[in-house]
């Protein structure tokens, strides 16, 4: 499985500011995903990030609030814009397994607290 | 779209006992069913998965069973150990992966 790292691991931010989360993979992958996990809850897909094209967002998530970049096959960023306390969550990136397109492997997550 | 239900939400067992977590799914087209273990402060870790052409899969103390007709699948952990304590998520996938709500397993020494 791929080795996935995320930066920052955690942050505390003020309302109205933005935070960019980085996801780095140790191998080239076609599909990368961004999830949100609210406290004590399950995982909700925010968007799918494909290299060379715009991200595909799930219902309830919009590009203005969660802009995503995917400049190459090993890296992606998710920005949480104009944050409010309701954005306090764990943000996780995941990648498809090499040779197994339906398997997903997750990074360690970014724990965001918005005051 | 796919809807995955997971039960129970919490499960407490004595060390050495077995634990069973059950999930049901709604979309009969789903063909891939992974299970993830999430420890505190970490990302979900894939522990076992099963595809729709297989009824059962086992990996040491962990097994997963799938009943396609009834659209449910289960995780079985035998000889539980304190380090098995975590939150477990099931998921179902055809094109998009949908997750269950999670089960918090506590193994008491």
User: What would the mean pLDDT of B81-91 be, rounded to a whole number?
Assistant: 98
Where does the pLDDT of residue A100 fall: very low under 50, low under 70, confident under 90, or very high at 90 and above?
low
In A22-61, the residues whose Cβ lies within 8 Å of chain B are 41-43, 45
Share above pLDDT 70 across residues of chain A, in percent, rounded to a whole number: 97
Distance from CA of B18 to the nearest CA of A (A): 24
pLDDT at res. A79: 98
**Cβ–Cβ contact B29 with A under 8 A:** no
Distance from CA of B42 to the nearest CA of A (A): 5
What residues of chain A lie within 8 A of the CB of B34, using their CB?
103-104
**Distance separating alpha carbons of residues B68 and A40, to the nearest angstrom:** 29
User: What would the mean pLDDT of A95-108 be, rounded to a whole number?
Assistant: 82
Count how many pairs of residues, chain A against chain B, have C-beta atoms within 8 Å. 38
Question: In what order do the strands lie in the sheet containing A75-80?
Answer: A4-7, A19-25, A75-80, A68-72
User: What would the mean pLDDT of A81-94 be, rounded to a whole number?
Assistant: 97
Contact check, Cβ <8 Å, B44/A103: no
pLDDT in tens, A18-31: 999 999 999 999 88
pLDDT exceeds 80 at position A98: no
What residues of chain A lie within 8 A of the CB of B31, using their CB?
102
Residue A112 contacts by C-beta under 8 Å, 6 or more apart in sequence? A10, A11, A13, A19, A21, A80, A83, A87, A88, A89, A90, A91
Where does the pLDDT of residue B95 fall: very low under 50, low under 70, confident under 90, or very high at 90 and above?
confident
Contact check, Cβ <8 Å, A102/B96: no
pLDDT in tens, B26-82: 999 999 999 999 999 999 999 999 998 889 999 999 999 999 999 999 999 999 999
User: Is the pLDDT higher at A53 or at A91?
Assistant: A91
R_g of chain B computed on alpha carbons:
13
pLDDT exceeds 90 at position A96: no
pLDDT in tens, A36-63: 999 989 999 999 998 888 899 999 999 9
| DSSP helix/strand/coil, B35 | strand
- Facing residue for A102 by CB, picked from B32, B41, B44: B32
Q: Which of A42, A59, A94, A112 to mutate to test the interface with B (most CBs of B within 10 A)?
A: A42
**Distance separating alpha carbons of residues B62 and B78, to the nearest angstrom:** 7
User: What would the mean pLDDT of A70-97 be, rounded to a whole number?
Assistant: 95
End-to-end CA distance of chain A: 36
What residues of chain B lie within 8 A of the CB of A106, using their CB?
36, 43-45
| Summary mean pLDDT of chain A | 93
Peptide bond into A64 cis (omega under 30): no
pLDDT exceeds 80 at position B88: yes
pLDDT in tens, B8-28: 999 999 999 999 999 999 999
Say how many CA atoms lie within 13 Å of A47 toward its Cβ.
Answer: 24
């Amino acid at each position: 499985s791929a080795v996935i790292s995320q930066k920052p691991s955690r942050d505390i931010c003020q309302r109205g500011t933005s935070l960019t989360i980085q996801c780095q993979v140790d191998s080239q992958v076609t599909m990368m995903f961004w999830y949100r996990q609210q406290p004590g809850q399950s995982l909700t897909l925010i968007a799918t990030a494909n290299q060379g094209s715009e991200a595909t967002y799930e219902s309830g998530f919009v590009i203005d609030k969660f802009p995503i970049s995917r400049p190459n096959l090993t890296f992606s960023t998710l920005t949480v814009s104009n944050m409010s306390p309701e954005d306090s969550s764990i943000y996780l990136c995941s990648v498809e397994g090499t040779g197994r397109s339906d398997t997903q492997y997750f990074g360690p997550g970014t724990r965001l607290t918005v005051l | 779209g796919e809807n995955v239900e997971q039960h129970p939400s919490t499960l407490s067992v004595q060390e050495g006992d077995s634990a069973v977590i059950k999930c049901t799914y709604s979309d009969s087209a789903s063909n891939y069913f992974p299970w993830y273990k999430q420890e505190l402060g970490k990302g979900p870790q894939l522990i076992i998965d099963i595809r729709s052409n297989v009824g059962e899969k086992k990996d040491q103390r962990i097994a997963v069973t799938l009943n396609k007709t009834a659209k449910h699948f289960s995780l079985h952990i035998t000889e539980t150990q304190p380090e098995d304590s975590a939150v477990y998520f099931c998921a179902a996938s055809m094109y998009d992966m949908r997750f269950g709500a999670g089960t918090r397993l506590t193994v008491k020494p």
